[in-house]
A and B are shown apart, each in its own frame.
Chain A
Amino acid sequence: MLGASDLVVGRGGVALLEGLSLAVGTGDLLAVRGPNGAGKTTLLRTLAGLQPALSGSVDVAPDTLAYASHADGIKPSLTVRENLIFWADVFAAPDGIAPAVAAFDLEPLLERLAGRLSAGQKRRLGLARLMVTGRPLWLMDEPTVSLDSSAVAALAALLQAHLAGGGAAIIATHLDLGIEGQVLDVTPHRAQGRTAPRGFDEAFA
């Protein structure tokens, strides 16, 4: 579904992670682990195609992934239903919002303004938003932030269902979700200055 080989990612021309190779297929979960500031977010953004790799390549078919950043991307002045319908329409999802509403148990909250939700409920809405995109591969940056342990368990269950249904996910997290899957610890891949700077700085090294 998504493959990358000998990937070097970085910000502002400075390599953060290097020598990364990964492959994610249907039903796979890849947990990206590592300390804060190591470059997990940069790696996810690069895989999502939001920023270019410093070298190496990401091989992914178009329209397979959806990227969820730290922030939920939820508009507090819209209701839960309106938030979900928007993303379903933007991604031209064939199933609409019903499966996601059912999966995340959002039925009773549908008419509530998103700004009035609790942190955990917001997070559920944020995940439901990924589901309504209809994309099989989810790239999630720290989805467990601000979730209590029962919500984490719920998240794990939902992810498992997503994987079982032919989906896949790459998750940057420092919690063990208790799901079978690959773990990519980025610590050994941290750039040690072995790689010359790329982009703007390359010319001045």
Chain B
Amino acid sequence: MIALLRRDLMLAVRAGGGFGLALAFFLIVVVLVPFAIGPDPSLLSRVAAGVLWLGALLACLLSLDRLFALDHEDGSLDLLATAPLPLEGIAAVKALAHWLTTALPLVVAAPAFGILLSLPAPGFGWLVVSLLAGTPALSAIGTFGAALTVGLRRGGLLLSLIVLPLYVPTLIFGAEVARRGAEGLAIGPALPLLAGITCGTLALMPFATAAVLRRALRG
């Protein structure tokens, strides 16, 4: 499993797609927002937390469609399925690799992008905390969606349609934590609820993903 993780990380670094593309997309979303709603700092600072969460969420979607598709096309997935690794483990490692290569750079970059959107000072810490707590769930859910659409033509659009509604609870609680942090309010139960969703998702999603993969491999 560590070998698989190491390989996926190496592939992401070599191809550059994982780190670079999602980050660039995130940056573009953040840059476009002031063009769309105006440069007024007070308005920007009010929506900054939500926009950053939404941007990170959309950027997370970007590399999902290649998560299993590449391994499926070149036959690696077939050989992996006959390897002494449980498919559940493969699913979990794929989610972890996606988180490390796509979500983690977004979390690191988010405070810098927060400056662009006049995020209030107390919001930076909570933004990072909420993203750290929420993005693992996004990766795990996205891996499930990627497994569902593996091998389908035009799977990318379908993947978004399937995954985005599943992202709703995570987005609500995650953005709520970030927003309350930015407004200086008490965080309240949103953070434990977000962490709860993430833990539940991480615990259960690999099994659903593995079930889907097992079925999809039958062809």
Contact = CB atoms under 8 A, between A and B. Distances in A.
A129 B219 CA distance: 23
A123 to B, nearest CB: 13
A71 B74 contact: yes
B84 interface: yes
Interface stretch (B3-11, B113-121, B179-187, B190-198): B3-11
A154 to B, nearest CB: 21
Contacts of B2: 89
A190 interface: no
Given A77-B15, A92-B84, A51 B218 contact: yes
A45 interface: yes
B79 interface: yes
Contact of A72 (B75, B82, B83): B75
B24 interface: no
A86 B7 contact: yes
**Which DSSP category, helix, strand, loop or mixed, fits chain A's interface?**
loop
Nearest to B2: A89
Interface residues of A, number: 31
Contacts of B219: 11, 45, 50-51
A61 B88 CA distance: 22
Given A77-B14, A78-B14, A90 B74 contact: no
**Which DSSP category, helix, strand, loop or mixed, fits chain B's interface?**
helix
A90 B218 contact: no
Contacts of A69: 75, 78-79
B217 interface: yes
Number of chain B interface residues as a range: 20 to 34
A16 B76 CA distance: 25
B108 interface: no
Interface in A1-26: 11
B73 A65 contact: no
A191 interface: no
A68 B79 CA distance: 6
Interface string B1-42: 011101100110011000000000000000000000000000
A181 interface: no
Contact of A75 (B7, B78, B84, B218): B7
Interface string A71-95: 1111101100010011101111000
A89 B74 contact: no
B218 A73 contact: no
Contacts of A133: 79, 83
Interface of A: 11, 45, 48-52, 63, 65-75, 77-78, 82, 85-87, 89-92, 129, 133
28 contacts: A11-B219, A45-B78, A48-B78, A50-B82, A50-B217, A50-B218, A51-B218, A51-B219, A63-B84, A66-B79, A66-B82, A67-B82, A68-B75, A71-B73, A71-B74, A73-B75, A75-B7, A77-B14, A77-B15, A78-B7, A78-B14, A85-B3, A86-B6, A90-B83, A92-B84, A129-B79, A133-B79, A133-B83
6 nearest interchain CB pairs? A89-B3, A71-B75, A69-B75, A77-B14, A51-B218, A73-B75
